[in-house]
Homo-oligomer: A and B are copies of this chain.
Amino acid sequence: MSRYTYRLIASDGMARRSELTTAHGLVKTPAFMPVGTQGTVKAMYTDQVRATGADVVLGNTYHLMLRPGAERVARLGGLHRFMNWPHTILTDSGGFQVMSLAQLRKLDETGVKFRSHLDGSEHVLTPERSIEIQGLLGADIQMQLDECIRLPASEDEVARAMRLSLAWAERSKAAFAAMGGPEKGQGLHGIVQGGDVKSLRIESARELAAMDFGGYSIGGLAVGEPQDVMLDMLETTLPELPETKPRYLMGVGTPEDIVESVARGVDMFDCVLPTRAGRHGLAYTRFGKINLKNARHADDPRPLDETSNCPAARDYSRAYLHHLVKAGEALSMMLLTWNNLAYYQSLMAGMREAISAGTFAGFREETLAGWARGDIAPHVP
């Protein structure tokens, strides 16, 4: 069984290209991880997800613990087998969604008590239970339980949540060791908190670095603050983290967020944006976002991007996609989600190649220029 390890392959400025090894394969970074909330990347077959270039998908502990239940998934052979994804799986701790979805939350130093948004049943999530659940799911890369607060927040509140998260980091690490995570080749990430307060971000990163986690996540960003604040926090935080470990910016983001974060040294990303947008008629392309609901596509015979190697981008006219969106057909979600994940993965592959070639700055400039240029004018028959 492989251990969770990080190997640097190339760097260009602060941008890094690397390979993570997990018990279920290699993860090429910079990596984008499609979100498989309830044990499925919505509207996608797993072999399609894989073919877009994804090495890892994310599962949500909160959702899976409530339905179908972690013990049940374990009895059925673990999440990999359950969802038919034999490659790497990363899980979050459940904490973020307890805060955003659950009812009647009560948080103290022990953990958080809440009621399910599905049926009102009562549940408790502690650092230990979160690690236990992630172990039952069989996640290759696991997250400590943390408290993620929305910005803006007072500095006192940010400091309290950050220090609680540090205490939970210790307990998570102990639980992970006690439950045999390392022997199973699994890895555990500590999560940097500290809101938009530089000194707190630095304190959090240093304390976590001293605990020697398998990897480090940056939490509590992309929660309402402007992009420049997020990038500023990355510039403050990343130098405090060990260079020999992966860095994962949680819940980010737009293609531009991702390029700018890679430029600052982030290795891993996840976001619902490409999948959610695909279910709402939006396509991500080299020329920015295309809203297929717009009537200007109704007679346009061109595909989304004839140079793409994704069939969804290449083999269907915009007129057809517009029709499917207007008609509310499932195929519109299937094709646009596919296109979006393929575009995100091609963006990551482009960055990996550029980092190896030492041309990341040029790639970034060209990519931003493509988005700025916008979609090409529709063909008039």
- Interface residue ranges, A against B (CB under 8 Å): 38-40, 42-45, 67-68, 72, 75-77, 82-84, 298-299, 301, 315-317, 319-320, 322-324, 326-327, 329-331, 333-334, 381
Residues of B within 8 Å of A315, CB to CB, are: 84
Residues of B within 8 Å of A38, CB to CB, are: 323-324, 327, 329
The closest CB in chain B to the CB of A312 belongs to B45
In whole angstroms, what is the CA distance A77 to B67 when docked?
46
Consensus secondary structure, chain A interface: loop
A331-B42 in contact given A68-B323, A315-B84 (Cβ < 8 Å): yes
Expressed in whole angstroms, the minimum distance between the Cβ of A97 and any Cβ of chain B is 14
What is the oligomeric copy number? 2
Whether B301 pairs with A77 at a CB distance below 8 angstroms is: yes
Whether A45 pairs with B319 at a CB distance below 8 angstroms is: no
In whole angstroms, what is the CA distance A315 to B39 when docked?
15
The closest CB in chain B to the CB of A82 belongs to B320
Whether A330 pairs with B43 at a CB distance below 8 angstroms is: yes
Whether B327 pairs with A330 at a CB distance below 8 angstroms is: no
Expressed in whole angstroms, the minimum distance between the Cβ of A73 and any Cβ of chain B is 9
Known: A67-B326, A330-B334. 15 other contacts (CB 8 A): A38-B327, A38-B329, A40-B324, A40-B331, A42-B331, A44-B331, A45-B331, A67-B323, A67-B327, A68-B298, A68-B322, A76-B319, A84-B315, A330-B330, A330-B333
Whether B319 pairs with A72 at a CB distance below 8 angstroms is: yes
Whether B334 pairs with A83 at a CB distance below 8 angstroms is: no
A320-B83 in contact given A45-B334, A331-B43 (Cβ < 8 Å): yes
The closest CB in chain B to the CB of A300 belongs to B76
In whole angstroms, what is the CA distance A324 to B327 when docked?
24
In whole angstroms, what is the CA distance A43 to B72 when docked?
28
In whole angstroms, what is the CA distance A84 to B316 when docked?
7
The closest CB in chain B to the CB of A64 belongs to B323
Q: Can you pick out 15 interface pairs between chain A and chain B where the beta carbons lie within 8 Å of each other?
A: A38-B323, A38-B324, A39-B320, A39-B324, A39-B327, A40-B324, A43-B334, A68-B298, A68-B326, A72-B299, A75-B299, A82-B317, A82-B320, A83-B320, A330-B334
In whole angstroms, what is the CA distance A350 to B172 when docked?
57
Which of B68, B84, B319, B327 makes the CB contact (< 8 A) with A82?
B319
In whole angstroms, what is the CA distance A44 to B334 when docked?
9
A298-B329 in contact given A39-B323, A317-B82, A334-B43 (Cβ < 8 Å): no
In whole angstroms, what is the CA distance A39 to B322 when docked?
12
Residues of B within 8 Å of A323, CB to CB, are: 38-39, 67-68, 82
In whole angstroms, what is the CA distance A188 to B72 when docked?
55
Q: Closest 9 A-B residue pairs measured CB to CB?
A: A43-B330, A68-B323, A40-B331, A38-B327, A40-B329, A76-B319, A82-B320, A84-B315, A76-B301
